[in-house]
Amino acid sequence: MRYISTRGASAPVGFVEAVLAGLAPDGGLYVPETWPGFSQDEIAGFAGRPYAEVAAAVLGRFAADEIPREDLLGMCQEAYAAFDHPAVVPLVQLAPDVFLAELFHGPSLAFKDVAMQLLARLSDHVLSRAGRTQTILCATSGDTGGAAVEAFRGRANTRIVAMFPDGRISEVQRRFMTTASEDNVRCLAVAGDFDACQAILKTALADKDLQRAVGLSAVNSINFARIIAQSVYYFTTAVALGAPHRPVSFAVPSGNFGDGFAGYVAHRMGLPVGRILVATNANDILARTFLTGVYARGAVAETQSPAMDIQSASNFERLFFEATGRDGPATAEAFAGFSAGQAIQVPASALQSMKLLFSGASTDEASTAREMQQTLKETGEMADPHTAVALSALRRDPGPGPTVVLATAHPAKFPEAVLAATGRAPETPARALALAGRPERFERIDADAAKVSAYVRTFAGA
C-alpha cells in the first residue's frame, strides 16, 4: 500500500515512511493511494473477536505488505493489554438507541491511548529494524500529550517533547505528562493557546534541517497510523450492535477531527455507517463548516472541554481532499490559504458529498453542564465534559437507529467540571491517584517556533 499527500506534490511513500514522517514534505497529510476494504462477511466475522485481533485485521489492510501480520498482531495484543477493561472499548447502553463507547480505559484515561499505545509499538518496531532513532514533537490540547508520554516513555529509539498551552489544560492532564521521570521525555508549557502550539509543530515539521538533525516526527492525529487505530472501534462497536446487517450511527466529540475522520475510514472500508454527528463545543469551526460550507477560523474560546478548544481541525484537510474527488492542487491552495488566514469555501458538490455522512452541531457551556447533570440523573452514568458535548448534540438531534457516542475521556480527568455540573465528584481511578504525589518536571517557553526548535536540537544532542 502506498500513501499519497493530500496536496498532491509529494512522491508516494510506503506505510513505514508515512508513519515516521507524519506530515508529507509538501505540507499535506498522507492518505492511502486506494482505500482497502472488507466484505460484509468479513465485517460480520469481527463479532465476538478479541479487540486486538480486529485491530490487527484492520491494520493489516494498510501495512501488511511492509510488516508481517504476526508482528502486527503481537503489537496490537501488547498495546491493548495495557487497558484495564477486557473488552478494551466496552459499550454501555444509556437509552434504547444510545450507547456509550468507553474509550478511556487506557493508561492516561482518554481515547488517545487507543491509538498511541499502538503507534508507540509500531514506531519502535520499524525504528529498531532501520537502526534509527526519532524525536517526537507533540502539540497537545490536553490529552494527546499524556497519551504520548505514557506510550513512549522509556522507549529506546524515541525522544519525546510534549508542548501544551500553559495554564489551559487540567491538572490531571498536565500531570500525566509532567510526572514522567524518564530521560527521553521533556515537557514544554507554551505561552499561547493550542493553535499556537500546533502552528509551532507545523513550522518545525516543515523545517527539513531540523527534521534531518533530530529525526523529527509527529504523533498528532495528522499521523495516519493513529487514524487507522481509531477506525477499529467503529468496527467493533458497530458490529456489537448489529452491523453490517444494519447501519450504526456515531456521535463524536470533535476538535482536530481525527476521530471523526476515523469514522470516515471505517465507512470507506465497507462498514455501514448511518451518520456521523460531529459535535463541537463553542469552538465550532467544524459544526459551522458542515452547516454552511465555509471553513473559517474563529477566536479560540476556553471551555470545560479543553481538548476540543481548537479552531483549525487538521484532519478536515483529508476529508476535503476526498470530497473534492482527490483534487491535490485544490486542496493545497485551500489549506495553504487557510494557514495564511483565509477562509475556505467548500465547493458545493464536495459539501453535498460530506453531508451524506456528516452533520455538525455545537454545544455551548451551559448545555454541556446540563447534559452531565441530566445523563447522571437519567442513567446513573457520569460523562466527562467532552462526551457531554456529543450527548447533548445527540439529544437535540437524535437521528434514526442506534447511535454510538464516543466517550473520549474518563470523568475523573475533568473532576472540577463534573463536580460543578453534577454536584458529585467522579471517583478517581488508581492510575490518576498515583500521579498526585509525584514531582512535576516541565519548562516554560515562548510561543516561538525558533525557540522550540533550538530546544529540540539541544535535547536531541544535534
Ligand X SMILES: *Cc1c(COP(=O)(O)O)cnc(C)c1O
Q: Which stretch binds ligand X (CB under 6 A): 94-102, 186-194, 247-255, 322-330?
A: 247-255
Are 360 and 286 within 8 A, CB to CB? Answer: yes
Q: How far is the CB of 224 from ligand X (least distance, A)?
A: 13
Q: What is the DSSP string of 314-368?
A: TTHHHHHHHHTTS-HHHHHHHHHHHHTT--EE--HHHHHHHHTTEEEEE--HHHH
Cell 487557510 found at = 338
Q: Which stretch binds ligand X (CB under 6 A): 82-90, 129-137, 251-259, 422-430?
A: 251-259
Q: Is 257 in the site for ligand X (CB under 6 A)?
A: yes
Choose between 105 and 386: whose C-beta lies nearer to ligand X. 386
Phi, then psi, of 270 in degrees rounded to 5: 115, -5
Q: Which amino acid is at 283?
A: N
SS3 76: helix
Residue 334-363 contact track with ligand X, rule CB under 6 A, x = bound = ------------------------------
Q: Is 170 in the site for ligand X (CB under 6 A)?
A: no
Measured between alpha carbons, how far is residue 216 from residues 37, 108, 210, 224, 458 in Å?
31, 24, 7, 16, 13
Q: Dig out the grid coordinates for 389 from the structure.
A: 458535548
Q: How far is the CB of 193 from ligand X (least distance, A)?
A: 15
Q: Is 256 in the site for ligand X (CB under 6 A)?
A: yes
Q: Is 184 in the site for ligand X (CB under 6 A)?
A: no
Q: Is 408 in the site for ligand X (CB under 6 A)?
A: yes
In 356-414, alpha helices (H): 365-379, 385-396
Largest CA distance in the chain: 57
Q: Is 322 in the site for ligand X (CB under 6 A)?
A: no
In 269-306, alpha helices (H): 285-292
Chain centroid to Cα 228, Å, comes to 10
Q: How far is the CB of 416 from ligand X (least distance, A)?
A: 15
Q: Which stretch binds ligand X (CB under 6 A): 81-89, 164-172, 195-203, 258-266?
A: 258-266
Q: Which stretch binds ligand X (CB under 6 A): 174-182, 194-202, 254-262, 360-368?
A: 254-262
Q: Is 386 in the site for ligand X (CB under 6 A)?
A: yes
Instruction: Return the residue of 228, 300, 409, 435 that touches ligand X, per CB under 6 A.
Output: 409
Q: How far is the CB of 269 from ligand X (least distance, A)?
A: 18
Q: Identify residues 299-318 at the interface with ligand X (CB under 6 A).
A: 307-308
Q: Is 193 in the site for ligand X (CB under 6 A)?
A: no
Measure the CA–CA gap between 38 and 387, rounded to whole angstroms: 29
Active site residue 208: no
Q: Is 410 in the site for ligand X (CB under 6 A)?
A: no
Q: Is 226 in the site for ligand X (CB under 6 A)?
A: no
Q: Which amino acid is at 138?
A: C
Please state, as a whole number, how many other Cβ atoms lie within 10 Å of the Cβ of residue 120.
Answer: 25
Q: How far is the CB of 265 from ligand X (least distance, A)?
A: 12
Choose between 108 and 157: whose C-beta lies nearer to ligand X. 108
Find, among 73, 78, 76, 100, the residue nearest to 89 by Cα: 100
Instruction: Return the residue of 102, 124, 143, 150 that touches ligand X, per CB under 6 A.
Output: 143
* Cβ contacts of 274 within 8 Å, gap of 6 or more: 247, 248, 249, 399, 400, 401, 403
Are 225 and 115 within 8 A, CB to CB? Answer: yes
Q: Which stretch binds ligand X (CB under 6 A): 80-88, 256-264, 354-362, 394-402?
A: 256-264
- Answer positive or negative: Cα dihedral of 264, 107, 161, 197: positive
Q: Which among 112, 202, 377, 451 is annotated as catalytic? A: 112
Residues that bind ligand X (CB under 6 A): 110, 112, 142-143, 221, 253-260, 307-308, 386, 408-409
Query: Which residues does the annotation mark as catalytic?
Result: 112
